[in-house]
Amino acid sequence: MTESEQPSVPLSTLLADPALGLRRIAGPAEEHRVRVSTVGTTEIEDPTPYLVGGELLLTAGVRLPLDSEGIDAYVRQVVAAGVSALGFGVAPVHEEVPPQLIAACDRHGLPLLRLPPTTPFVAVGQAVYAAIAEARNRELREISRAQSALATAAARPGAIRAVLAQLSAHTGAWAVLHDAQGAELFSAGTRPAAPTPGRVRDLAVRTTARVRARSGPAGRSAPAAAADHQGGTHLTVHTLPGAEGTTTLALGQAATSAPTLVHRQVTSTATVLLALLTSPRHALGTDTHSAGALVRLMLGADPAEVAPALAPADTTEAEHSWVVVHGRHTRPRATQAPHPGDDPAHLATLATALRTPYLHIDGADLKALVPSAADARPEAPAQAADLGWVLGFSTPAPASDLPHADRQAERALRCAIAADVPAVVHTEDPLTVHGLVPAADARDLARTRFAPLDRAGAPGAPVLLDTLRTWLTLHGSWDRTAATLHVHRNTVRHRLARVGELLDVDLQDPGVRMELWFALHWLPGGADAAGE
């Protein structure tokens, strides 16, 4: 976070609070320009080693120098440390603010506030942090409204123009989309006078050229940003991420004020949406190859036959492999908030993070197919965790082995949930207990061990097995199992009591749990069943 993005409030907000009774008695009169990001209290002669800048520094003058020269040196030190303002509490040490301190603050341009005896220092701190929290909440509400407007715009006809229009409306900047040669494709907002549009174009051309120069071997361009400030005009350029085999595009902005944190967040969302809207592969649509593959599948073609049509055009036949991803959205969401799959901005960001348009979100559950080289190791993007997703990745597999990879991804997701980590990538390890027992014997053991469950009434053996598997995966946690299965914890207890009764075992015995866990993996459809 840059200094300008640190949460802060104008000093004028504190001066306007009648409950505090603060009064500026020295320093510049433009209180609205002075920002306070924190409150510190000190009674030492030289507090500068303990300051970070932006403080409203409070003191009762316990160890304030007695002479004018010492007071002047004190004020110089705190000004050099970046203190925003100095607050002086009168009584019991000083009956009134020393005149030498008032003169020194005027001399060095440091706002000096008088705190009446009835205002505790703690009350000032509480007021600052409450004001900062309210300011942050306003920013978050503004960001949320802007993102919602951008997502709605992305679903309209003429989506690119609509997104640019919303971006301009929420940032107050002229927004323009350039191609790599500097041609102006779309724009929105009040067009600035010359030479500003030309400066934006030149900055966009230089930035896209730098991106193309460092593109990876597969032709994927890493996004970049650039900024310029001249004569009161602030220019920014962001290249669009995720373009594959296409001309790099750049989003330019020109404004008469520096971009705020809100503007940066809104621009980030718009950049993602524009990248998806201008790419032949994006989460809000499809390309002709993908559409053709879907038609062939619906007319009876084998998945392995149509899979190459879904792979990136720059991959060879030997590289037509896929990574299966399973995900669970775990971040608490307000009841009125849409599911992740119903939020275009969320879907667009997740598709860009995973680098695939092939997503299926059902409520809180995700399945995805990611094109991959056969020898590549999947990597979990940090952005997916930021969006609230826990992920499980399979190893790369050809289309003919996708059911096998699907089981790997499901198993990896369960491990990630159990370990409370953002992601787990499946690994093949032959040195396991499963490798020591012949597969045929293990499958016979599994069928025999769970055969008594076939005599269970409602809800049936499959439900009891799934409850047992989830409970063991989550290390016997009733609450987490209930949350994962979306049932009441008493339902979990009842089901497992029925399992223990039918199998005639004590589920609290670690040895029993180990035996059942081994057998579960060899049931039909288990992670280590035939074909593993």
**209-213 — which CB contacts under 8 Å span 24+ positions?**
209/180, 211/239, 211/248, 212/180, 212/248
From the number of C-beta atoms within 10 Å of its C-beta (0-12, 13-18, 19+), residue 226 rates as middle
Question: pLDDT tens for residues 242-265?
Answer: 444 445 788 999 999 888 888 998
Tokens for 52, please give them: 């970070």
Look-up: residue for tokens 């316990």?
62
Element (H, E) at 372: strand 365-372
Neighbours of 183 (CB within 10 A): 12
Three-state DSSP class for residue 286? coil
Residue 348: what pLDDT? 60
Pick from 289, 326, 513, 508: nearest CA to 416: 326
Q: Where are the beta strands (DSSP E) in 382-441?
A: 389-393, 423-425
* Mode of pairing for the β-strands spanning 55-59 and 38-41: parallel
Residue 23: what pLDDT? 95
Residue 243: what pLDDT? 44
Q: Judge whether 238 and 254 are in contact, CB under 8 Å.
A: no
> What whole-number distance in Å separates Cα of residue 326 and Cα of residue 418?
14
Backbone angles phi, psi at 428, to 5 degrees: -90, 125
Tokens for 422, please give them: 């953002």
Q: Judge whether 75 and 27 are in contact, CB under 8 Å.
A: no
Tokens for 448, please give them: 């025999």
Three-state DSSP class for residue 332? coil
> What whole-number distance in Å separates Cα of residue 354 and Cα of residue 32?
44
Backbone angles phi, psi at 423, to 5 degrees: -160, 155
Q: Which amino acid is at 503?
A: L
Alpha helices in 155-226 (DSSP H): 159-171, 196-213
Q: Which amino acid is at 246?
A: T
468-502 per-residue burial string, b: 16 or more CB within 10 A, e: under 16: bbbbbbbeebeebbbebbebeeebbeebbebbbeb
Q: At what angle do helices 510-520 and 461-473 cross, to 10 degrees?
A: 120
Residue 110: what pLDDT? 95
Residue 293: what pLDDT? 61
> What whole-number distance in Å separates Cα of residue 470 and Cα of residue 485?
8
- Which residues lie below 8 Å from residue 338, measured CB to CB, with a gap of 6+? none
Q: Which residues of the chain have pLDDT under 70?
A: 1-6, 157, 214-223, 241-247, 279-304, 306-319, 331-349, 352, 383, 428-439, 524-532
Residue 316: what pLDDT? 52
Q: Which amino acid is at 139?
A: E
Q: What is the DSSP letter of 244?
A: B
Residue 67: what pLDDT? 93
Pick from 106, 49, 115, 39: nearest CA to 78: 49
> Model's pTM, two decimal places?
0.47
Pick from 342, 351, 349: nearest CA to 371: 351
